Chain A
Amino acid sequence: MKKNTSIFLSLILIFITSYFLYYKGEQALEKSAEKFTVLAFENTDLNCNSQSLTFFIENNLKKEGFCQVSIKNDNEIFENLKISVPPQSKKLIQPQVKTIEKVCNLSQKIKYQVSIKNETNQKTIYKLITP
């Protein structure tokens, strides 16, 4: 192999590898963003009634881009609670099933334990305590 050919090919290889690293980096950033669920609430002013909770969850879920939210009726307070959030174009995962539980403790402090559960991840990911 001629000297200049070898050097030229080496430079081409360095650049191709750099491109490939960049491509893999972008791909990894996009893929990883799809892998997990994110849910965030900013309003902590809640009352223990279905109306405010409906508004609260709907409002926040909308912001995070969730759709097709269904709620398991574990407690009579939420018997008629149905939330429908229009689909949005965000890239976040859209969980299939979500469960919302309410726990009122003895000292009358109200705790909402909101569990977001999807097919692959059975974890409680949100807790909000209200005085």
Chain B
Amino acid sequence: MLLDLIKIDLSLGLLLFIPGYSILIALTRAKNPLGTLGTIVVSMVLSLGITNFSLMLINRLDFKLTPLSIFSILIIITTIGLILYKIFQKEKLKKIPASENSNWLIFFLILSFSIFIRAIYLIPKIIPHATDLGHHMYWVNYIIKFQELPIYGIPDFIIGEHLIFGAASILSGVGIISALPTIILFIINIFSLLAIFLLTKELANLLFTSKTAHKIGFLSLLSIGVFYAIASPQATYINGGVIGNLMGNLLIPTIFYLFIKAVKEKSSTLASLGFFLAGILAYTHHLSTFIFIYVLVGFLIFFIFGFGLIKLILKNNNVEIRPFLKIFINLKTALTSFLILSFVFLIRIPSYLNLSAIDTAVGNPSKETRTGLTINNLVHSTGSWRIFYSTVGLIFLIFIFWQIFKKNSLAKKIYSIQISSPLKALTAISLASAWFLTIFTMSHWPALLKIDIISGRIANYLTYPSAILAGFGVYAILQPIFNKNQKIITLTVFMIIFIPGIISGLFDVSESYVEDSSKFDETIETFKGAEYLAVRTNPDQKILKDHIYLTGDTWIKNFLMRGYKEPLSRTLLKRYTDVVKKRETCTRDMIAIPETEIGKKCFEKTKIEFLILKDGFDTHQFETSDNFSRIFATDKVVIFQKK
């Protein structure tokens, strides 16, 4: 066990920090403006991308993905980074001015509590069992077993979702039937909280004093980390193995963080890094990429509108957009874009980049689930406390925008508003507002934006921008009262704000303990059944499993490794009556009515010989039949063989 932990530690260190850090310091050299936390978060995300691209490159060059090849390429990249850093480091590292130390205890406490809530939710469910994770782990297992990257043939999976798990497993020697996938997702989720904290702080820094920006950052961290910590897209997604969303929610805020930093520091290097991370996003998750593009378009609309207003009202010719554009359109960003495009054309095309997949996502909503969520649904999915304060935050940001046009006002004094540049302020306001409003529109009025994707999936992306806005919203209400320094009123308002937050935001934590976690133990019995089938059957003998009642059934394919669609599965009954997509019914009938003519014909057609089911759930017909033998049994899982 200890050896495993050391191996995991070293592997994750190499995969999720070292190469990214080396490249980051080589690129920024003495001018790294990211600070300690920013450097750690960006290094982690950068490493994730470097690992992904390195593995794709190894595979393209027809080398096997072995511990040696992965280790070697990452060490080579790290060494190159360090050499470049040493060569080009002409001046000593600039010391970044130390920020206020007093507030960092609050940061530690909020983050600790965020970690604690997630850990206590995950521990009872730590046995790998989730449906989505089982599907994803098949492809990870493919990489581990065959030491090469899979060709999916379906747009549902993207290579970036699987590479880090495959690399971690190959390097550490720890298999996927362990807590390793959950640990990686847990780390990704915690780093996404840190990315939100950093981004909020930077956005606020463009509008307020540094001290105020810290406060807003902490409020935002509280909103994303502690409140609604179990609900999707947080701990539930870690446990459920919703890899793409979790990675998307780490990459998107980190990209925006780098863009904002690039604007603030006028650094085209940071903008290029943002472009590079956008490339990683495209190789990781289609929906996140799709949303990212929409948010960027939304941002541009907001920004252009705001820029027009500033020009019109201020009549100031000094407000120039050209230097601003130079940060994003220059040789470095062009080279980065070229590098990513070369990868797409020469190394590997993301599996969803085809006309039919794009056509499925764009257009008028084709199903009821894609016609948009009601406001109530959105409030429920994002969290009532969070959505309320994010609305306040949105109004507050419009109010701040108005302050750009005022030289001196009471509000500027009360809220410690400090706008160094109207365009930078506009960038911060446009990004926070457009991110929230674009996703809100995409999930509430998808027809307006010609989106044909399940609205609930898009709505999950509202959590992160609303957490940022909630930070601004709470500050907007608290600050004037804190400013007056009347202790009783301050305490009362503080409680009025946070008690509903604690009740609403921690409700899902208390609710999750009612859930019976013993059912997850059944997964082990499914694994034993799968092991039995893997050993005692050959690939020609077809197997049918029951997805409705069997726990952890999607993991069976990881034991068999006979193709993604093996074994066949009886899915949820409602899916057999889908009017849009007509599907076969044999998988249902062979379990529900095996002794009827329909059932018998299905057995003949599909050549199913073995059925793995949950004992007592649709098993009676097999128990009493002379045509089936029960050949394997545990307390909860049975396998029948057709005679």
- SS of B interface (majority): helix
How far, in Å, is A31 (CB) from chain B's closest CB?
8
Interface size on B, residues (CB 8 A): 59
**Do A15 and B9 have beta carbons less than 8 Å apart?**
yes
Query: Is B180 within 8 A of A22, CB to CB?
Result: yes
The closest CB in chain B to the CB of A35 belongs to B521
For A127, the closest partner residue in chain B by CB is B630
| A38 close to B (CB within 8 Å) | yes
| Contact assessment for B634 and A36 in the assembled complex, using a CB-CB cutoff below 8 Å | yes
**Cross-interface CB contact of A128 among B102, B630, B635, cutoff 8 Å:** B630
Q: How far is the CB of A111 from chain B (nearest CB, A)?
A: 8
Is there an interface contact between A39 and B633, defined as CB atoms closer than 8 Å? yes
23 contacts between A and B (CB under 8 A): A1-B101, A3-B98, A5-B104, A6-B104, A7-B104, A10-B112, A13-B115, A15-B9, A18-B8, A19-B8, A21-B119, A21-B182, A23-B5, A24-B126, A25-B128, A26-B1, A28-B126, A28-B127, A33-B528, A36-B635, A38-B634, A40-B633, A123-B615
Whether A44 touches B177, Cβ cut-off 8 Å, given contacts A25-B126, A36-B635, is no
Q: Which residues of B contact A (CB under 8 A)?
A: 1, 4-5, 8-9, 12, 36-37, 40, 98-99, 101-102, 104-105, 107-108, 111-112, 115, 118-119, 122-123, 126-128, 177-180, 182-183, 186-187, 190, 521, 523-525, 528, 532, 536, 615, 623, 626, 628-636, 638-639, 641, 643
Q: Are B108 and A6 in contact (CB under 8 A)?
A: yes
Q: Are B631 and A3 in contact (CB under 8 A)?
A: no
Say yes or no: A25 contacts B634, CB within 8 Å.
no
In the bound complex, how far is the Cα of B453 from the Cα of A125, in angstroms? Answer: 45
CB distance from B463 to the nearest CB of A (A): 20
Q: Report how many residues on chain A are interfacial, defined by Cβ distance under 8 Å.
A: 46
A129 in contact with B190 given A25-B126, A28-B127 (CB within 8 Å): no
The reply to whether A7 and B40 contact each other, CB–CB distance below 8 Å, is yes
* A104 contacts the other chain (CB 8 A): no
Most buried by B among A2, A23, A127: A127
> What separation, in Å, do the CA atoms of A41 and B532 have in the docked complex?
10
Contact with B along A54-90 (1 / 0, CB 8 A): 0000000000000000000000000000000000000
Query: In whole angstroms, what is the CA distance A23 to B99 when docked?
Result: 37
Q: Judge whether A14 and B187 touch: CB under 8 Å.
A: yes
Chain A residue nearest to B179 (CB atoms) is A25
- Contact partners of A32 in chain B: CB under 8 A: 127, 521, 523-524
A14 touches which of B8, B36, B115, B180 (Cβ 8 Å): B115
Contacts of A19 in B (CB 8 A): 5, 8-9
Question: How far apart are the CA atoms of A42 and B540 in the complex, in Å?
Answer: 17
With A9-B108, A44-B629 given, name 10 new contacts (CB 8 A): A13-B112, A18-B8, A21-B126, A21-B183, A23-B5, A24-B123, A25-B182, A35-B524, A36-B528, A44-B641
Q: Counting chain A CB atoms within 10 Å of each CB, which of B187, B628, B631, B639 scores highest? A: B631
List B contacts of A40 (CB < 8 A): 532, 536, 631-633, 639
Task: Establish whether residues B633 and A2, one from each chain, have CB atoms under 8 Å apart when the complex forms.
Answer: no
Question: Are B36 and A20 within 8 A (Cβ)?
Answer: no
Neighbour of B101 across the interface among A2, A10, A14, CB < 8 A: A2
Beyond A1-B104, A19-B5, whether A29 also contacts B634 by CB under 8 A is no
Residues of B near A126 (CB, < 8 A) are: 630, 633
Q: Which of A3, A13, A15, A36 contacts B636 (CB 8 A)?
A: A36
Give the contacting residue for B634; candidates A7, A21, A125; CB below 8 A.
A125
Nearest neighbor of B525 in chain A, beta-carbon distance: A36
B438 smallest CB distance to A (angstroms): 31
In the assembled complex, the Cα of A36 lies from the Cα of B551 at a distance in Å of 15
* A21 and B186 contact, Cβ closer than 8 Å, known pairs A15-B9, A40-B532: yes
Q: Is the CB of A129 within 8 A of B643?
A: yes
**A37 CB–B CB distance under 8 Å:** yes
Chain A residues, Cβ within 8 Å of B643: 44, 129, 131
Q: Do the beta carbons of B36 and A4 come within 8 Å of each other? A: yes
Chain A residues near B107: list those with CB within 8 A. 6, 10
Which of A15, A17, A29, A125 is within 8 Å of B633, CB to CB? A125
A99 to B205, CA, bound (A): 75
CA distance A6 to B221 in the complex (A): 15
A47 in the interface (beta carbon within 8 A): no
One of A1, A15, A23, A121 near B105 (C-beta < 8 A): A1
Question: Which residues of chain B are within 8 angstroms of A127 by Cβ–Cβ distance?
Answer: 623, 629-630
Determine if A103 is an interface residue (Cβ-Cβ < 8 Å): no
Instruction: Give min CB distance, B66 to chain A, whole Å.
Output: 23
